[in-house]
Structure 1
Amino acid sequence: MGLISIILFTLLIKSKSEEQACRLIGQTGYLEFSKDGDIIIGGIFSLNASRVTENNGYHAYPTSFCTRLNPRELLFARAVIFTVEEINKNPTLLNGVTLGYRLYNGCGSQSLVRAALEAVTEGESCRKRVQALIGHSSSGISKAINLIVGELDIPQISHLSTCACLSDKRIYPTFFRTVPSDQFQITALVQLMKHFGWQWVGIIKSAEVYASDGVAEFIKQGKNEGICVEYVIFYGRSNTKIEHKVIEQLKASTSSVVLLFMSLSYTRELFKKVDGNKLPRKQWIGSEAWISQVDLASLGSKNILHGAMGFALPQSIIPGLLEFILSLKLSDEPESVMIKAFWEGFFDCSFTPSNTTNLCTGDEDLRTITSAYTNTELRSVRNVYTAVYSIAHAINAILQCENGLNPTTGKHCVSKTDVQPKQV
């Protein structure tokens, strides 16, 4: 189902009486982790990194399924769970009102948007299900999601969607974020190049809203500072022809400075494919999505990153989070097929007896592995933590009551059962 039809369907939901029955058409079942509470927070994460579709030869509906596990997104989801539990233990916040969560998994834009639609509807009555929604990591997905949840007055808080385009409240009225807009990063990158006198640069970008909008703004601001762009070249994953074109451009270019404006997954794929020993030395300038990932410098023996500069998100340690992440056991999520899949990937084992694979016991120790899931120093994790607390403080403000009135709004007091997403 296309995005336009999903939006129209959502508008129909809003316009109908709550007594009229409605149902979601097509695939559902994206809910991955949940816990009941007085007030529910939703979350959308890409626990899988890619989506495959089989057309079934037009003899049946196309079949789609998710592939490639994404440990970083599991860390984000578990960070939400950790933060909710921490808030519920805090006697000074929410005054006994408990938060619950419903966290959904999707891969590819279509299933992620459908996951968001499932998150904000409930059963046959299509009632609003969550008071706020956390996610997504991608700016393009966040744009699509907000076109839906905005019509339902549900706030969406992203921890990693940096596209400046999302700041337009006329189009994305309920979108918020705990990560800076790219507007600031672009200004800083232009000033960085101006400082070093780099006025002749090349740009490699990915086919994402994040990259396209960021590069367009960089070119605009750079022109005003006398920075000229030799080339702008698109990089696409798993496309040999495009990969060859990027390599040939790097060899032929006269500019020694390259701005690489891509998400982490695209950057990692590119550096795996490019042999730095066969290229002239370049000064790489990175966007915040990848510049602080130290593992990129040691991808094989490619020798591509002689040095890179850029601006990163602030880093801080969240007390107790590492212990929580490493203490995960299968018994914590006994119904989750996804956790079993991650477990098999983490420990290179299988819960199904096999002659070629080690048998998982379920007692393996996460402290013995290195993974994006166990990297709680990842800078964007703090943004997830802050997003959950932002929602909690907003709800706390709604529930304040003195002499029958809310001291902040001056309106009549609201009980926990009367809280509405628009108030949040």
Structure 2
Amino acid sequence: MIFAIEEINNNTELLPGIKLGYQIYDSCASVPVAVHVAFQLSNGQDPVFYKGSNCSQFGVVMAAVGDSGSTQSISLSRIIGSFHIPQVSHFATCACLSDKQQFPTFFRTIPSDQFQADALAKMVKHFGWTWIGAVRSDSDYGNFGMASFLAAAQREGICVEYSEAFSWTDSYSKIQKVADVVRKSTAIAVVAFIHSGDLRVLFEELAQEPSSSRQWIGSEGWITDPYMLKFSFCAGAIGVAIQQSVIPGLRDFLLDLSPTEVLSELRKVNFSQNGYPVSFDANGDPVAFYELVNWQKSENGVIELVPVSVCSESCPPGTRKVLQKGKPICCYDCIPCPEGEISNSTGS
């Protein structure tokens, strides 16, 4: 993302006279977190103060990029769309997001699943697989995607033996039930409109008690995941994938991100926050600050000062220390200064 923004800012043709800034949030593939971020974006003003910047509008969100998942993108769009904030997703493929009545400010740089569903149906028909099974993620991606596929399959004269939905967060018994449906079915071809993480748990369960081999047909959500190669019964899988491309300069950009932006910059860190200095010394240690705590309770319940523990009291002004014979240097007597001399501080 940072590479893409720098490419835009350094190109005089894409957005002439405009520089893009950004803040990155991690939704953790969670709808509640995505909603929380959406409200943050919708609040308008960023609490951070920018110094020495030539930004024309401080802290005003112009657009949002994301989310990766369809479900999170739907939640995000329903909130920020009300404020007419544009949203551009790079990986949310649910066909439902094409509905401009519901999502008027949503855009994406990846095709709608409607096209993928049609392509999968034509592929299945091309190979003569007219009796198939179907599994899907129990999410907007899987449910809407499979609905589009089943409609397309029906138009192609393809019959479906079963259609099962599940999520990797489901109970073991639910995953086992889906696996048993696949094992006991007579359909050899299985279409999986599913997230990679969901299919992994199904394949792990199928591997426990292998059945007759199946022809797996996959959506772009998992078909390029090399992890699936560990399952022998997945050999020969066929599906549609997002076209890959070579981005000039990206490789060098990534290779230049060596741990050394980070190490050199960390050594230079020196700032104060809430009255506390933050910096690192030559050993990588911060400046040490401690609070001295000593619990001393008086009879009335008040916390008192730290108790005194000395061998000899400090010598007052006008006296000097004389070490006590045979005792440590902390033990001494206080005697008056010689005539004509004076000490004007305590403990001289």
What TM-score do the two structures reach when normalised by structure 1? 0.56
1:246 lines up with 2:182 in the alignment: no
1:234 lines up with 2:165 in the alignment: yes
Give the Cα–Cα distance (whole angstroms) in 2 for the partners of residues 209 and 177 of structure 1. Answer: 16
Q: Which residue among 228, 237, 245 is the counterpart of 1:308?
A: 237
Give the Cα–Cα distance (whole angstroms) in 1 for the partners of residues 260 and 36 of structure 2. Answer: 29
Letter in 2 for 1:143: I
CA contact (8 A) 2:220 2:239 kept: yes
Give the Cα–Cα distance (whole angstroms) in 2 for the partners of residues 222 and 120 of structure 1. Answer: 41
Task: Tell me the equivalent position of 1:97.
Answer: 18
Task: Tell me the equivalent position of 2:337.
Answer: none
- Map residues 269-288 of structure 1 onto 2, 5 A cutoff: 269-275=201-207, 278-288=210-220
Query: Please, what is the CA RMSD of the aligned residues?
Result: 2.3
Task: Tell me the equivalent position of 2:35.
Answer: 113
Give the Cα–Cα distance (whole angstroms) in 2 for the partners of residues 168 and 333 of structure 1. Answer: 44
Which structure: larger Rg?
A: 2
Task: Tell me the equivalent position of 1:82.
Answer: 3
Gaps of 5+ in 2: 48-57, 264-348
Letter in 2 for 1:153: H
Gaps of 5+ in 1: 1-79, 335-424
Give the Cα–Cα distance (whole angstroms) in 2 for the partners of residues 135 and 166 of structure 1. Answer: 13
- Map residues 316-327 of structure 1 onto 2, 5 A cutoff: 316-327=245-256
Q: Which residue among 156, 159, 177 is the counterpart of 1:225?
A: 156
SS in 2 for 1:233: strand
Task: Tell me the equivalent position of 1:7.
Answer: none
Give the Cα–Cα distance (whole angstroms) in 2 for the partners of residues 211 and 101 of structure 1. Answer: 31
Give the Cα–Cα distance (whole angstroms) in 2 for the partners of residues 273 and 311 of structure 1. Answer: 24
- The alpha carbon displacement at 1:146 in A equals 0.6
Cα deviation, 1:360-389, whole Å, max 9, x if unaligned, reads: xxxxxxxxxxxxxxxxxxxxxxxxxxxxxx
Give the Cα–Cα distance (whole angstroms) in 1 for the partners of residues 154 and 124 of structure 2. Answer: 12
User: How many pairs does the alignment contain?
Assistant: 252
Q: Identify the structure with the greater helix proportion.
A: 1
Letter in 2 for 1:185: Q
- The alpha carbon displacement at 1:215 in A equals 1.0
Give the Cα–Cα distance (whole angstroms) in 2 for the partners of residues 309 and 200 of structure 1. Answer: 16
Letter in 2 for 1:309: I
- Map residues 3-402 of structure 1 onto 2, 5 A cutoff: 80-107=1-28, 108-121=30-43, 122-123=45-46, 129-238=60-169, 239-275=171-207, 278-298=210-230, 302-329=231-258, 332=261
Give the Cα–Cα distance (whole angstroms) in 1 for the partners of residues 254 and 243 of structure 2. Answer: 21
Give the Cα–Cα distance (whole angstroms) in 2 for the partners of residues 307 and 278 of structure 1. Answer: 16
Identity between Structure 1 and Structure 2 (%): 40
Q: 1:323 to 1:272 in 2, by over 3 A?
A: farther
Give the Cα–Cα distance (whole angstroms) in 1 for the partners of residues 18 and 167 of structure 2. Answer: 47
Give the Cα–Cα distance (whole angstroms) in 2 for the partners of residues 174 and 333 of structure 1. Answer: 37
Q: 1:326 to 1:120 in 2, by over 3 A?
A: farther
Instruction: Tell which has more relative contact order, 1 or 2 (C-alpha 8 A, sep 6+).
Output: 1
- The alpha carbon displacement at 1:278 in A equals 1.4
What TM-score do the two structures reach when normalised by structure 2? 0.67
SS in 2 for 1:102: coil
Cα deviation, 1:85-120, whole Å, max 9, x if unaligned, reads: 122222344334311111111221101111122133
